[in-house]
Chain A
Amino acid sequence: MIKNISNLGDAAVYCDFGNEVNKTINSKVIKYFKTIKKNNIEGINNLTPSYNKLIISFDLNKTSFKQVKNYIENIDLEDSQNINSKKLEIPVCCDEKFSMDTKRLEEILKLSREKILEKFLNKEYFCYMTGFIAGMPFLGDLDENMRAQRLETPRVKVPKGSVAITEQFANIYTFESPGGWNILGNTPLDVFDSSKEDKPNLINPGDTVIFKEITLDQYKNFNEK
């Protein structure tokens, strides 16, 4: 399943599952990730699953590349049924106040604003990974006609809650941060909550996400319920 295992520096193992980005390959990555995490191996101190790679960081005082590699090669993987994944609905307000890049997207994609939102909303997206900034989910895949490049000059500040797209992916800015993705709307939902130490991320790798449109009034009232 892993095409190649190599070292990334002297304190990490780089597991390469191939170059394509798809659900099948990513599910394999997640399967390894969840099994290793559960096994709680002495010395392994971090795991970073992504589209088609898994990076395993370790404490060089406690173990080594050779030992971790050997462990990975002989691992008993969990059955996929044991991977509990959720289906989540994310409310998103696409009022012009929030959808800063729809004009830009209309030009690039040659689609009307309505068509863009229609193609984006109410579809199932798979969460490939979370990260870059804490809790940010990388979701896919967008419709073939919806794929645009990043902004040429990234924004210095993207507002918290921004729902944005680039290439075949969508994401949610979990807090204000620099960023270059095309912004379609904003969610009032806290996708990352650092006060919940055991489960800070609302969306985790392997989950399915559907964006549901809400009005500006619903957005404003959302956190007052």
Chain B
Amino acid sequence: MKNNYINIIRSGINTTFQDKGRDHLYHIGIPFSGAMDNRNFLIANKLVNNNLDSSVIEFAYQGPQIKYSGEKINIAITGDVIFTIKKKGTQIEGNCYKSYQIENGDEINIISTNKSVYGYLALGGEFDLKPQWNSCSINTKAKIGSNDGKKLDIGQKIYLKKINLNKDIKKTNYINSKIENIRVIKGTNFDYFSEEGKKIFYEKEFTVSKLLDRMGMRLEGPKIDNIVNTNIKSEGLIKGVIQVPADGNPIIMLSDHGTIGGYPKIGVVASVDYDRLVQMSPGTKIKFKEINLSDAETLFKLYEMETQNLLSQI
């Protein structure tokens, strides 16, 4: 089995291994990490008949170009991704949400994500990776996870320790829905902001700035005025928390976020909208809509049912 591997010809911008992430470590300063867009991560694994928590390759904007060596294997790409597959000199345009069978010498070139940020490449089998705290998810800032906590690099060979080949081609007609409104629940420091600031938060449009990575998303737009204190005593953070520092521009914590922060929390993104939030690329307009806890819980349950439904149809 040591002869099945991928070779990274071009690494792409931010290419890492991700799985479900790691828990029970906030108190020592380690966030969940894991695939940013959980639904697309699960679908990718399902399309190649993997365990749903198998490690996949996550890429942002420009993905990697890889060459495969070894026995026949299934692959699938999810997200909104433009890619080609080169087989013995012939190149085909790839479609997301469909599995392909590739063989020795074939190449996959992930050109870019389309008006979105993250895409996922799953191979049917298991990569030979060393997990850390029960997860292979790479957190490059903390240098934690498989691949020594580093991004995938040009020239690297990554082996598979297992292949589960499926002769049938699997596909699904899923379309990534884009939303303009991100639903939020009022934050614990909501009253730190002026009446005008609160109104701005819910009524005005913000733009996703270029300061966007797996740790956080900074927004630009009208300033949100703080009338109490621009700092709080440092306390825990969770993904989806929207902090507003002194400059009045919101920052949303994403999966690799620092575990402690000292800026007031104006809101928290409802779990139902997290997968779609992380796909908003720089320049995207964003508006927040307030919902209450019980609606957020119901909406999340529906979203989860929809995900399970999608998976069961593959």
Which A residues are closer than 8 A to B by beta carbons?
Answer: 6-12, 14, 16, 19, 21, 33, 37, 45-55, 57, 60-61, 64-65, 129-136, 138, 174-175, 177, 192, 194, 197, 200-201, 204-205
Q: Which residues of B contact A205 (CB under 8 A)?
A: 27
Q: How far is the CA of A43 from the CA of B304 in the complex (A)?
A: 16
Q: How far is the CA of A7 from the CA of B295 in the complex (A)?
A: 13
26 contacts between A and B (CB under 8 A): A10-B296, A11-B271, A12-B268, A19-B233, A33-B27, A46-B25, A48-B237, A49-B27, A50-B234, A53-B235, A53-B236, A54-B236, A55-B235, A60-B271, A130-B27, A131-B258, A132-B29, A132-B258, A134-B29, A134-B30, A134-B142, A194-B142, A194-B144, A194-B149, A197-B133, A201-B28
The distance from the CB of A187 to the nearest CB of chain B, in whole angstroms, is 17
Do A131 and B233 touch (CB < 8 A)? no
Do B29 and A130 touch (CB < 8 A)? yes
Q: How far is the CA of A49 from the CA of B234 in the complex (A)?
A: 10
Q: How far is the CA of A50 from the CA of B235 in the complex (A)?
A: 5
Which B residues are closer than 8 A to A by beta carbons?
Answer: 23-30, 32, 132-133, 141-144, 149, 185, 187-188, 233-238, 240-241, 258-261, 265, 268-271, 293, 296-297, 300, 304
Q: Which residues of A contact B32 (CB under 8 A)?
A: 46
Q: How far is the CA of A97 from the CA of B270 in the complex (A)?
A: 48
Do B259 and A48 touch (CB < 8 A)? yes
Q: Which residues of A contact B304 (CB under 8 A)?
A: 61
The distance from the CB of B307 to the nearest CB of chain A, in whole angstroms, is 10
**Do A47 and B270 form a contact, CB below 8 Å, given A8-B238, A132-B259?**
no
Do B261 and A132 touch (CB < 8 A)? yes
Q: How far is the CA of A45 from the CA of B187 in the complex (A)?
A: 21
**Do A12 and B185 form a contact, CB below 8 Å, given A133-B142, A134-B28?**
no
